[in-house]
Amino acid sequence: MKTLKKIVFVFGLLTIGILLLNAYQGKFDKKNNETNEATDSSQNVSVISTPQTEDDKSYAIYALDIPQDLTFAGEQVPLSDQEVFERVDREFLVNTYWQSNGLLLFKRANKYFPIIEPILAENGVPDDFKYLAVIESGLQNVTSPAGAKGFWQIMRATGKELGLEVNSNVDERYHLEKATEAACTYLKRAKNKFGSWTLAAAAYNAGNGRVSKELEKQQVANYYDLLLTSETARYVPRLLALKYILSNPKEYGFHFQQKHLYNPEVTKSVMIDSTITNLSIFAQKQGINYKQLKMINPWLRQNTLNNASKKEYQILIPAK
């Protein structure tokens, strides 16, 4: 009997000990969990509240401040008009954050603006119109679905009207210098007709006839007051955006060095006033290959130069 009582007593003590131990462990775990939660919470707050450094800006998207003194060819842009502001803002955003295309434009501009700028100046056309070639073609010899070609995207009939030779053998819409001269002629005529460089730019996109018709129909005299198709409504704002972005690369997040840019070709001219039956052989005689010849002279459209009229052509070849 005494042995049984001892066993019950010992078992009771063990049970009480286990209960006390579990209670203590529960309190410890709760406290530990609270400590961990507080630590996690503190860490989260720390991460969220840490201010961004200057380096972090390249990994974020920011709204843009539109320059308030926005002008095109010396003509003020009415940003106080909310609809105009929104059109301009859209083009700044789209062209700033299309980074790969933007970098390519910087690279090409370094190569081709030195050719375009003096021609504009000699013809009395504002320097801002070099950006028209940027939005028309991205400074490339491309062909539009409608058949417009070259840097300035000139239609066949318009090119001939402006004095360019356009046929299956020679297409001077691909001749950068001559096409730029032709574009200057078109723009000056439009400026004389409408009295505004901004309307001249719109007419380059929509055509003189369309712009004249809409001005008369809507009884206004200003591009920014016209209700136009989406393409023409975006045209001048896109010009403005590319003008300011390409003029202020770092302000719009573009960083590069001179070595990253494309350089103008150093060339010399060879005067030709006769037929060339094989341009590949002609190129070899000049110490270059057919590819090099066609890259520098994209206006030569075939492997021959038919020249029964004995017209003088200047063919460019690398200076070295």
Residue 271 lies in a domain: yes
Q: Do 297 and 149 sit in the same domain of this protein?
A: no
Predicted confidence at residue 15, as pLDDT, reads 57
Whether the CB-CB separation of 77 and 70 falls below 8 Å is answered with: yes
Q: Are residues 291 and 233 part of one domain?
A: no
State the pLDDT confidence band at 45, using cuts at 50, 70 and 90.
Answer: very low
Assigned token pair, 78: 């009415």
Q: Please, what is the average pLDDT of the chain?
A: 87
Domain span holding position 200: 71-260
Backbone φ, ψ for residue 306 (5° rounding): -80, 120
**pLDDT tens sequence across 264-309:** 999 999 999 999 999 999 999 999 999 999 999 999 999 999 998 8
> Are 135 and 239 a contacting pair, CB within 8 Å?
yes
Same domain as 139, residue 177: yes
Task: Classify strands 313-318 and 71-72 as parallel, antiparallel or unpaired.
Answer: unpaired
Mean pLDDT of 246-251: 96
Same domain for 102 and 251, yes or no, is yes
pLDDT at 60: 82
Q: CA 110 from chain center: how many Å?
A: 14
Asked whether 201 and 235 are in contact (CB, 8 A), the reply is yes
17 part of a folded domain: no
Report percent pLDDT > 90 for the chain: 79
pLDDT of residue 56: 54
Same domain, 306 and 254: no
**For 123-172, how does the pLDDT look when each residue is reduced to its tens digit (9 = 90+)?**
999 999 999 999 999 999 999 999 999 999 999 999 999 999 999 999 99
Structure tokens at 32: 């530990």
Residue 150, domain CATH: 1.10.530.10
In degrees rounded to 5, what are phi and psi of residue 80? Answer: -70, -20
Which range (9-13, 89-93, 120-124) has the least confidence?
A: 9-13
Helix (H) or strand (E) holding 272: strand 267-272
224 and 279 fall within a common domain:
no
Dist. CA 292–CA 262, nearest whole Å: 16
Output the pLDDT for position 251: 94
**Backbone region of residue 83 per phi and psi (left: phi > 0; alpha: psi in -120 to 50; beta: other values):** alpha
Q: Hey, what are 137's tokens?
A: 């073609």
What is the reported pLDDT for 53? 53
- The pLDDT confidence band at residue 311, using thresholds 50, 70 and 90, is very high
Cα atoms found within 13 Å of the Cα of residue 145, Cβ hemisphere only: 0
Asked if 279 and 227 sit in the same domain, the reply is no
Residue 178 lies in a domain: yes
- Whether the per-residue pLDDT at 30 is higher than 50: the answer is no
> What are the tens digits of pLDDT across the range 61-77?
889 999 999 999 999 99
User: Which of 213, 235, 260 is the last residue in one of the domains?
Assistant: 260
Q: What is the pLDDT of residues 221-242, one digit of tens each?
A: 999 999 999 999 999 999 999 9
Q: Write down the pLDDT at residue 48.
A: 30
**Three-state DSSP class for 278?**
coil
Is there a single domain that holds both residue 306 and residue 255?
Answer: no
